[in-house]
Every structure is written in C-alpha cells, then in structure tokens.
Amino acid sequence: MRARDKALRFLYGLLIAVTLVYVTLPSVVVIITAFSDKALLMFPPTGFSLKWFERAIGYDDFRKGLANGLIITAWASTIALVCGTLAAFVIERFEFAGKRTLEAVLLSPLVIPHFTLGVAMLILASEINMSRTFTLVVICHVILVLPFVMRAVYVSLRNIDPALERAAASLGASPLTVFLRIDLPLLAPGLAGGWLFAAILSFNEFTATLFVTGQRTQTLPVAMYTYVREYADPTMAAISSMLIAATVLFLVAANRWLGLERILSIQQAR
C-alpha cells in the first residue's frame, strides 16, 4: 500500500515536471535559436552570433510595425479605459431600459471569434469607405479590449463602500463631484490594471488585426507574420526573444505595482 502511494506520488511529480517542460520548451528553444550563427533554423545551433538581433532591430517593417502598434495601442487602450470606466460605472450603479442588452453587447467580444469580428469590421469599413485607416484598427481594438476594462472596473466598484458616496452626497457634493472626487480615486488602482491589461492585449492582438490592417497600418504582429511567410532565418527568433523578455519585465513590474492577483482577477471575473 505504501509502496503504491510512493509510486503514485512519483508519477504525479513526473507528470507535472513533463507538463512544465512542455509549456516552457518553445520559448527556451526560440531564445537559444536567436543566438545561432546559421541562416537556417537548425537545432542544436553550431555557433554563437548576435547578427539576427541586429537584423531584427534594423528591419524596416518591424520598426514601422512597432511604431504603428504603439500608436494604435496607446489610443485603443486609453479610449477603452475612458469608455469602459464610464459605461461600467453607469451599468453597475443605475437601472435603465436596455441595460442588460447593452452590457451583453459590450461584453460579447470575449466570446466572438476574432476572425469573425475581423471580417465583420472589414466588411463594414469597406461599405462606409473606411478600410485600411488607422481609425478602423483603433475602433476594432477598442471593441476587443473594452470587456477587460469593464471587468476591472466591476471588480473595483464592488469593493467601494456605498456609504462613502452617500456621505459625500449628504455633505452637499453633486453627483458628478461624488464620482470625480470619491469613486475615481478609489477606482484608480483597478483602472491602472485594466488599462495595462488592455494595452498588452491590443499590442499583441493578431487575428482581427490581420483582417483590418493594410500595408500602411500594419502592426508588429502582422509584420512578423508576413516575415515568417517570406523568410526562414532566425530574425524572427531574435525579435520573439526580445518580446518574451519584454513581457517578463513588464509582468515583474506589474506584479510589483499592482499584484498579479488583481490582473488575474480581470482575466477571470465574469
């Protein structure tokens, strides 16, 4: 009986170890490949070189894609932050006709396949002569990340004691003042989390973006996709390694600043 328990415990440990290796292996292999000296993807690498990093940093389409991506991300996450906060606040605090429908529509991008949304936005844009514009990409991203901002606001709003709002109102503050001076400061950490989450999602969004961008508006993930289709050298491994490193740094900072629990609660809250 005890021997069987030991064997089970060992198998359980082994399964977890193998799964962890399986999940991390691709990133590790990509980072190793990025330092290879051969132009072909080969494992194990035969020599060490930094030339693929040089090429990735100097590659025009990546530079333009990064610039486009940062501009689109900045606009999209900020617009989503403002619209999402206001909407979530009103939906959480007041009753009005069509409230449930509005909320369902605003949250629906969580479950709509991104390619469906991409095709839909592309068709709508072409009908109103807006295809291949930055506005289209930004609106598309705002719609995609809005639910995450709203979740972040819901989670934080439920932690605010309504007595604080009532106290301010009874002391003569107008409703707008209550919102600006009481709710907004209390919501701030949650909003920062939502904004960060929205920004990361928007920056990395690929599927819907591929449908709604053109040559002029392409973001970094789209430029990277085009690169994989044309070349097979480790330049992609180099830029992927840099993005993985940036993600890790960003998460470490976010953890210090906000706590990962808060970020995960945005991922999860329904």
Partner 1 sequence: MPDSRPAYFAWFILPALFLAAALTASLASLLQFGFREHIPGSLQVGGFTLGNFGRMGEWVYLRVFLDSLLLSGCTAVGNLLLGYPLAYALVRSDSKLLKSTILVTTIVPMFTGDIVRTYSWLVVLGKNGFINGTLKSAGLIDTPLELLYTPLGVLIALVQYSLPVMVVILAAAISHIDVAYEKAAASLGASPLSVLWNVTLPLSMPGILSGTVTIFAWTLSAFATPQLVGGGKVNMISNMVYQLGFSNFDFPFAAVLSMVALVLVFLLLYFMALGMRRLERVGLH
Region for residue 174 given its phi and psi (left: phi exceeds 0; alpha: psi -120 to 50; beta: otherwise): beta
Distance CA 65, CA 80 (A): 21
Q: Are 203 and 109 contacting, i.e. CB atoms less than 8 angstroms apart?
A: no
Report the nearest approach of partner 1 to the CB of residue 86 (Å). Answer: 4
Q: How far is the CB of 189 from partner 1 (least distance, A)?
A: 19
- C-alpha to C-alpha distance for 149 and 87, rounded to whole angstroms: 10
- The nearer residue to partner 1, 162 or 185, going by C-beta atoms, is 162
Q: How far apart are CA 209 and CA 218, in angstroms?
A: 8
Which of 71, 120 has the CB closer to partner 1?
120
Cβ nearer to partner 1, comparing 69 with 190: 69
CB of 116 to partner 1, least distance (A): 4
- Closest distance between partner 1 and the C-beta of residue 58, in Å? 19
CB of 121 or CB of 187, closer to partner 1: 121
Nearest approach, Cβ of 54 to partner 1 (angstroms)? 19
Beta partners for 36? 48
- Tell me whether residue 134 or residue 250 sits nearer to partner 1 (CB atom): 250
- Look at residues 106, 148, 103, 146 and name the one whose alpha carbon lies nearest to residue 267: 148
